[in-house]
A and B are shown apart, each in its own frame.
Chain A
Amino acid sequence: DAGVIQSPRHEVTEMGQEVTLRCKPISGHNSLFWYRQTMMRGLELLIYFNNNVPIDDSGMPEDRFSAKMPNASFSTLKIQPSEPRDSAVYFCASSLRGINSPLHFGNGTRLTVT
């Protein structure tokens, strides 16, 4: 079982550049979540999908952030243009649909915007 796979593990970019984070969920899972983690704010839910459809994007901070899930095995989170305050660890997680289903997290992408 490969688990949730995220790439890249680390990304360093300059302010104003476009950043794309990638996620491959666990096969068979029909819910996918993007979270951002910082010391100050903890784990914040950005957006989640059920069956590839965005359900709740109320956590997306602003229009610079966008997420897509073109199929059941792939999702992207894009930031354009990036800003230093976007620096954080971004996690993707997947689960089966169900109120008590556990989330399976990837190992995250550490983003640094200089």
Chain B
Amino acid sequence: TQLLEQSPQFLSIQEGENLTVYCNSSSVFSSLQWYRQEPGEGPVLLVTVVTGGEVKKLKRLTFQFGDARKDSSLHITAAQPGDTGLYLCAVRASSGGSNYKLTFGKGTLLTVNP
């Protein structure tokens, strides 16, 4: 059973369209991170959300953390080909004591066609 379920798994849209991708869990988290991964590269952090109901904006990207801190969404306005990539959500889970490990969802592979 996956700790984090991301949907949709694949999304192909035209330039200029809007889209939303989701990250869901049955567990409560103190924070959640979104990463973007481009082909041939490692994931790069986009944002960290901490407070239930929090909304953060990064240019055309809007991130929301659910009120119950179990889920999150990423909305992209007027998508551009440069937004193409694998979008991953990730949460910290305790490894005991003050140690935490970052666990990722499987991601949403977004393709924006010109």
Residue pair B92, A103 in contact (C-beta under 8 Å)? no
Inter-chain residue pair count (beta carbon < 8 A): 59
Contacts of A108 in B (CB 8 A): 40-42
| Chain A nearest CB, measured from B17 CB (Å) | 25
Would you list which residues of chain B between 16 and 32 have a CB under 8 Å from chain A? 30-31
**CB of B78 within 8 Å of the partner chain:** no
Q: Contacting B95 at CB < 8 Å: which of A35, A56, A102?
A: A56
| Chain B nearest CB, measured from A84 CB (Å) | 22
Residue pair A99, B92 in contact (C-beta under 8 Å)? yes
**CB of A60 within 8 Å of the partner chain:** no
Contacts of A105 in B (CB 8 A): 41-44
Given contacts A99-B30, A100-B48, A102-B33, contact A107 B103 (CB under 8 A): no
Report the interface size for chain A: residues with CB under 8 A from the other chain. Answer: 21
Which residues of A does B touch, CB under 8 Å?
A: 4, 33, 35, 41-43, 45, 48, 50, 55-56, 91, 93, 99-100, 102-103, 105-108
With A43-B107, A99-B31, A108-B42 already in contact, 17 other A-B pairs whose C-beta atoms are closer than 8 Å:
A4-B42, A33-B101, A33-B102, A41-B106, A42-B104, A43-B88, A43-B104, A48-B95, A56-B95, A56-B99, A100-B33, A102-B33, A103-B43, A103-B45, A103-B102, A105-B41, A107-B41
Pick 16 A–B contacts, CB within 8 A, sort by A: A42-B105, A43-B43, A43-B104, A45-B102, A45-B103, A48-B101, A55-B95, A55-B96, A55-B99, A56-B95, A99-B100, A102-B33, A102-B48, A105-B41, A105-B43, A108-B40
